[in-house]
Amino acid sequence: MTDKRVTALTHLLAEPDFAEIRPLEQSLHAYSLQTLHRARMLNSAGITANSLWLGRGTTSEFADFLRSMGWIGAYDASLANVLVSHQIAGDALLSHADPDQLAQYGPEIDRMTKVYCFAASELHAGSDLKRIGTTATYRHADRSLVLHTPEPADSKVWIGNSLYTGDVAMVLSRVVVDGRDEGHHWLRVPLRSEGRLIDGVHVRGAEPKGGVEANQTGIITFDRCVLPVSAMMSRWARIDEQGRYHSPLKRYRRFDECLATFTHERLFPTAGAGMAQRLACAVTVRFADLKKAFGGPLISHPHYRMRLRTAAGRATAAKHALEALTAVAVDRHDDRPPSEDRLLHALVACGKTGSTGDARHTLADARELCGGLGYHRLNQISPLQHDYEIAVTFGGDNTVLGYQASRFALREREALAALLDAAIRPHQDASRLLEVMRAVCDQLLADVDRQGPGAASTAWSRAVYQTLALGHWAAHEPTETGQALLRHYAAGCVLEHGVTALRAGALTQEEFLRVAELHEEEGAAPMDAADLLKVLDVPEALITAPIAHADFADRHLAQAVAVPEGRPGPAAVPLRDPA
């Protein structure tokens, strides 16, 4: 993150509105409204806005913008999701609107004067958006579109920002003209006017959720909601005065265009999950350096260090994977639009599945490494666990994304091979391990080609994510501590894919055993907490956990809820007489 942007974010986090994410006595509804208020503050400060998306702002700022969004997600995943829900809906309009629609609605999106919702997923269709049931039928008598939910299972579900405050939804719908289904289109649909739902729109709560509580999610059903024909985004589709539908794109290309916004949107959970891992690891490293157990600090015990290094390795790899993917997205942006760049779509999907999948393990490990105190809400790790569990499903189910990404990769084999070759070229002392991982990627893609999408797709998407992370990390790690962590992480990746590497002839049995020894030696080696914290590089303003400070016991006692004066404490339970 650049100094300017991290400074602005740090200053905001120090303001009273950000002092405590959710006070114990605050209701969920109040927390949701407070989160929306914070989102608008961040937007007004220029830290996050649709104008910073790739293709709208300066490409040199895009990486900083993604890092900012990731740190916001580490502060509070609900806050990041409120912003992302608004921004991906905004991108759907900005990408598909004609010039008049852009002029009319663009400013309210960028200034966040109206809150937008992204309404694509449905109860029945799930991740298979080709099967959505929502229809918008053209009615020539009054040149309107009648938006309708045919069956309850076709309701839009998990729609962020929609339950209490959403003003507008960008709705993915089938457009029907003169009895013909013209396929998928984006519609701008007002949800509320002066705080009240408009006619034909019904919103119910999709609560309670297991996490991300303040991103108020709803289930939206449309009951013959009448919209002007101008509600349909008209960049590449229109209905003329005679009621005839026109589009220069074939039907399958309309679907691809509608889903183009997902390519960049999936970078957000990648960033958030990566920063959440780094924050949890930073808290754990500081606690491990302070907490005494069994004759010394936790960090002095070899097995503890092994587990902590494994978590820190995943967290640091997520940082480098994001940087590598961002660079690829920026480099390829001028060559072709996202809707036509299947290789970029595949790589971003690998990044999303890799970072969010690893977050589940890293956060669980960090929680356990901090013992019972790791489960206390004030110590940050447990809330991150609850909030980032859903990230494996947000933006597309990870398993389904693996299937899709591997199919796309098979069509772009040569380009993918060139990109992965370039990724590992600037390696340092992890060269042999990088070469093995590169061979693993080819072997797993060949397995997908032979067997079809399945388990090999999941393994392939992880291997590509790990290879991109390793290549970028090896080229950009100046510190000895970081290089040692890189070797430990790289050895772990090779061990994970050991059978595949053996099948590919990239590794002998003797080499496999040496990799296992390297992994154990690097993992258990002495650890300097200060040096590792520099590698993790977490802004100090984000580390609020009491256990990250030397006086953590005093802090916990000071923040414990005291029994108010005049009110009796918990009654003692009498012991039963053994007789």
> Other CB atoms closer than 10 Å to residue 11's CB: what's the count?
12
Q: What are the C-alpha distances in Å from 177 to residues 225, 244, 492?
A: 16, 7, 56
Tally the domains of the chain: 2
Q: What confidence score (pLDDT) does residue 439 get?
A: 96
CATH assignment of the domain containing 130? 2.40.110.10
Distance CA 310, CA 427 (A): 21
Distance CA 144, CA 156 (A): 21
**Token pair listed for 415:** 């380009």
Element (H, E) at 138: strand 135-139
Q: Are residues 195 and 314 in the same domain?
A: no
Q: Are residues 531 and 453 in the same domain?
A: yes
> 399-428 burial by CB neighbour count: b if 16+ within 10 A, else e?
bbbbbbbbbbbeebeeebeebbeebbeebe
Q: What confidence score (pLDDT) does residue 251 get?
A: 86
Please report the DSSP string for 169-183 in residue order: EEEEEEEEETTEEEE
Torsion of CA 408, 410, 413, 417, to 10 degrees: 80
φ, ψ (nearest 5 deg) of residue 305: -60, -40
Q: What confidence score (pLDDT) does residue 544 get?
A: 93
> Other CB atoms closer than 10 Å to residue 267's CB: what's the count?
25
Q: Are residues 265 and 194 in the same domain?
A: no
**Does residue 571 surpass a pLDDT of 60?**
no
Torsion of CA 164, 109, 22, 72, to 10 degrees: 150
Distance CA 563, CA 18 (A): 27
**Does residue 398 surpass a pLDDT of 70?**
yes
- Report if residue 339 sits inside a domain: yes
> 307-328 burial by CB neighbour count: b if 16+ within 10 A, else e?
bbbbbbbbbbbbbbbbbbbbeb
What confidence tier does 430 reach under pLDDT thresholds 50, 70, 90? low
Q: What confidence score (pLDDT) does residue 427 get?
A: 57
Distance CA 290, CA 281 (A): 14
What confidence tier does 1 reach under pLDDT thresholds 50, 70, 90? very low
- Report if residue 25 sits inside a domain: no
Residues in Cβ contact with 309 at an 8 Å cutoff, skipping those fewer than 6 apart: 485, 488, 522, 523, 527
**Does residue 578 surpass a pLDDT of 50?**
no
Over residues 101-109, the mean pLDDT reads 96
* pLDDT, tens only, 55-104: 786 777 888 899 999 999 999 999 999 999 999 999 999 999 999 999 99
φ, ψ (nearest 5 deg) of residue 194: 55, 40
What confidence tier does 257 reach under pLDDT thresholds 50, 70, 90? confident
Helix (H), strand (E), coil (C) string for 369-420: HCHHHHHCHHHCHHHHHHHHHHHHCCCCCHHHHHHHHHHHHHHCHHHHHHHH
What confidence tier does 313 reach under pLDDT thresholds 50, 70, 90? very high
pLDDT cut 90: percent of the chain above it: 77
One-letter amino acid of 436: V
- Report if residue 373 sits inside a domain: yes
Q: Are 253 and 183 in contact (CB under 8 A)?
A: no
- Report if residue 318 sits inside a domain: yes
Torsion of CA 28, 34, 40, 43, to 10 degrees: -90
Distance CA 413, CA 531 (A): 40
Q: Are 321 and 274 in contact (CB under 8 A)?
A: yes
DSSP, collapsed to helix, strand or coil, labels residue 237 as coil
Q: Give the DSSP letter of residue 232.
A: B
Rg (CA), the chain: 25
Q: What are the C-alpha distances in Å from 405 to residues 348, 373, 464, 572?
A: 9, 40, 11, 60
Q: Are residues 277 and 242 in the same domain?
A: no
- Report if residue 542 sits inside a domain: no
Residues in Cβ contact with 91 at an 8 Å cutoff, skipping those fewer than 6 apart: 50, 53, 261, 264, 265
Element (H, E) at 440: helix 431-451
Q: What confidence score (pLDDT) does residue 259 get?
A: 82
* pLDDT, tens only, 351-376: 999 999 999 999 999 999 999 999 99
DSSP, collapsed to helix, strand or coil, labels residue 543 as coil
* pLDDT, tens only, 272-291: 999 999 999 999 999 999 99
88: Cα separation from own chain's centroid = 12
Domain limit, last residue, from 195, 213, 248: 248
Over residues 158-165, the mean pLDDT reads 94
Element (H, E) at 450: helix 431-451
Over residues 299-303, the mean pLDDT reads 94
**Token pair listed for 258:** 């509608």
Q: List the one residue out of 369, 398, 357 whose CA is nearest residue 547.
A: 369
Q: What confidence score (pLDDT) does residue 579 get?
A: 44
**Token pair listed for 342:** 């299947």
Distance CA 351, CA 511 (A): 28
Q: What is the residue range of 220's domain? A: 116-248
* Unique residue bearing structure tokens 């994304």: 401
Over residues 335-363, the mean pLDDT reads 91
CATH assignment of the domain containing 478? 1.20.140.10
Greatest mean pLDDT among 19-23, 517-521, 560-564: 517-521
Q: Are residues 302 and 398 in the same domain?
A: yes
Tell me the longest C-alpha to C-alpha distance in the chain: 94
φ, ψ (nearest 5 deg) of residue 382: -60, -45
Over residues 201-215, the mean pLDDT reads 91
Q: Are residues 214 and 264 in the same domain?
A: no
* Unique residue bearing structure tokens 């918990």: 570
Q: Are residues 202 and 267 in the same domain?
A: no
Q: What confidence score (pLDDT) does residue 25 get?
A: 87
Distance CA 79, CA 69 (A): 10
Q: What confidence score (pLDDT) does residue 8 get?
A: 87
**Does residue 563 surpass a pLDDT of 60?**
no
Q: Are residues 220 and 351 in the same domain?
A: no
- Report if residue 98 sits inside a domain: no
Residue spans of beta strands (DSSP E) within 53-134: 116-119
Q: Are residues 232 and 313 in the same domain?
A: no
Over residues 486-501, the mean pLDDT reads 97
Distance CA 508, CA 280 (A): 36
> Other CB atoms closer than 10 Å to residue 139's CB: what's the count?
12
Over residues 303-314, the mean pLDDT reads 97
Q: Are residues 237 and 143 in the same domain?
A: yes
Residues in Cβ contact with 5 at an 8 Å cutoff, skipping those fewer than 6 apart: 47, 64, 65, 67, 68
Q: What confidence score (pLDDT) does residue 263 get?
A: 79
Domain limit, last residue, from 536, 552, 574: 536
Residues forming a β-bridge with 159 = 218
* pLDDT, tens only, 5-60: 778 888 898 899 998 899 888 999 999 999 999 999 999 999 999 988 887 867 77
Q: Are 77 and 210 in contact (CB under 8 A)?
A: no
Please report the DSSP string for 278-340 in residue order: HHHHHHHHHHHHH-EETTEEGGGSHHHHHHHHHHHHHHHHHHHHHHHHHHHHHHHHTTS-GGG
Over residues 429-445, the mean pLDDT reads 90
Q: Are residues 233 and 332 in the same domain?
A: no
**Does residue 253 surpass a pLDDT of 90?**
no
- Report if residue 372 sits inside a domain: yes
Q: Are residues 339 and 411 in the same domain?
A: yes
**Does residue 147 surpass a pLDDT of 70?**
yes
- Report if residue 74 sits inside a domain: no
Distance CA 339, CA 345 (A): 8
Element (H, E) at 131: none
